[in-house]
Structure 1
Amino acid sequence: MASRPQLRIESGTAIDWIIFDRPDASNAFSAALLDAFSDALTTLAETGASVIGIRGEGKGFSSGVDLSEYATGTPVEDVARLRRNLDRWQAMWRHPKPVIVAIHGFCLGIAAQMPCFADMTIVTQDARIGEPGIPLGGGYIAPAWVSQVGAKRAKELAFLPGNHVDGKTAVEWGWANAAVPADRLIACVEALAERMAKIPLPVLTMKKRSINRAMEAGGFLTAVNAISESDAILHFEPSVLELRERLAKEGLRETLAQFRGESSTEIFIRFKGDSADG
C-alpha cells in the first residue's frame, strides 16, 4: 500500500493552502515533508492564487523536527542539514507571493523558526509556540526571533527548556500579527488574502521585496545565516551527546519530563500574583 502524502495543496481563488498532513505524527518535519514543502513553494511561484497560506492538519501546526530521523552525522554534514532548513525558509522570504502562516495548537522547535521568514503570521489565542522540549542544540531558533521580539525576549524564549508563549503573548511581543479564536483562524487568513488579491501580483511582489530589503539592511539575513554553525557545534558538545544517549535509552516521554516546567509567562504571572497578595 502506498504511503500517505505528508503534505497537500488546497487551491483557492485568492489563496492556495500548503497543508502539513502528518496529524498522527504531530506534523513533525520529516525529510519527506520538508522536500514536499520546497516543491510546493516552487510550484506555486508560477501557478495558482496571489497568496500562499501555510497551516497544519489535526491538533497543531507542527511539533518541529522529526526526532525519529534525528541524526547529526559529521559536523560538516550537520551544518549542511541545518543550512538546508534555512534555505527552505528563505525560499518563503524570496517568494514572489505573500506568504501567511496560520498557527493553531502547538508550534514548537524549528516550526517556530519558520514563521519568522513569512510575511504575516496569524495564530489562535490558545496556540503554544516555543522552544524544543529537550535542549539538544542551541542558537538556532531564537536568533530568528530577535528582529521581531528583541534580544531579551528571544533570550527569555531560549534560556528555559521547553519555554513557550501563547498566541496573545506572541502578538504582544510582535512575533505574530493577530490572535484569533481557533474556529476563526482559516476564515481570518482567507479574508486577508481576499483583500491582498485586489492588488495586482507584481505590485504585491515589489511591496514585499522593498520591506524585506529594509529588514535585510538591519542585518536579519546576516544574523540567521550564521546560526547553522553555532547549532552544529553544540550538537557535538559532550553534555548534549550525553543527553542524546539518555533520549535513546529512556525514550522521549521520560526525557521530556526532566525538563518540563512552567513557561516564563507562567512564572511572571505567578510572581506578579504573589506581589499583589503581599
Structure 2
Amino acid sequence: MDRLSALLIRMEFSADTFFEGAFCGSNHFPAQPGTGHLHLVRRGPATFTHDDGTLLQVDVPSLVFYPRSLAHGLDTGAGTARLLCATVRLAGDGAAVLDKLPPCLHIPLAQLPALAGVLDLLFDEAQLGGLGQKLVLNRLCDVLLVQLLRHALTSKLISASRLFGVSDTALGKALAAMHDHPGRHWTVASLASLCGMSRSRFARQFHAAIGCPPAEYLTGQRMLRAKALLQQGWLVQDVALEVGYASQPAFTRAFRACSSLSPRDWLAQGGS
C-alpha cells in the first residue's frame, strides 16, 4: 500500500452532498469542528467571503475546498451560479492531516484535467441520477477529494514531507519503510539502522516525534493494510502472511487487540 493510501485510510473522511443546482443570493457556512466544505462552481459568478475580510471571486468553473472548519460566506450577487456543495466530515487522523493544507484551496477546473472524468460523472449524476443518487454523489466526492490531494502533491501545493508528517528526514526513512512494506520483519534495530541512529536514540526520538513506540506504529500500519485486504476479499490466512504474521492465530490475536473483534466478525459488521 502506498503512503497516500495508508494516510487516507487513517483519515477516515467522508463527503456528504447537501446542495446541487442553480443558486442565487447568499448563504453563510459556520465553522463546525471536525468538518470542511467542498464547493464545485460549474458556472459562476460566486464570491466567497472570509471572517478576516478577504474575498475570493470565482468567475470560471472552479473547485473551492476548505479542508477544515472555517466560517465563510457565499454570494452570487445579481447573478445565478451552478453549484455542487458537500460537507467533508473527518475522523481518525483526518483533522490533523488536513491542518497541513492551506485554509482554502481554489483551483480552476481547467487546471485539473485528471479530474475531468470524475467531474463529468459527478455532474451527470447530479442532473440525471435516479435511485441511490445521494450515495453515488457522496462516493464520487470522496474520489474527488483523493484526486485533489494527489493534485496538491504533484503540483507542489503541499510537500510530501509535510503531508505525510515526515519532515524529519532521518525518521522519514523509517516511516516510509513501515508505510510501504508493513509486512516485513522490522525491528527497532533494523529501523534505527535505516535512519543511521543507535537503537536507543532512534526509539527515543521516534516516540517523541510520533507519540508511540515504533512497534506500536508498525502494528497500526499492519492493521490498516490487513483491513484493506480483507475488504478486497482476501482469505484471513493469506492476509496474516501478507502483513507479517507467522500464523493466522497470531494475526487474529493482534487484530482483536486493535479492533476488539476478530477479522471475520469485523467484516460481518461491515468492516468499519
Instruction: Say which structure is richer in strand.
Output: 2
**TM-score relative to the length of structure 2:** 0.22
Per the normalisation by structure 1, the TM-score is 0.21
> Which has the greater radius of gyration?
2
Larger relative helix fraction: 1
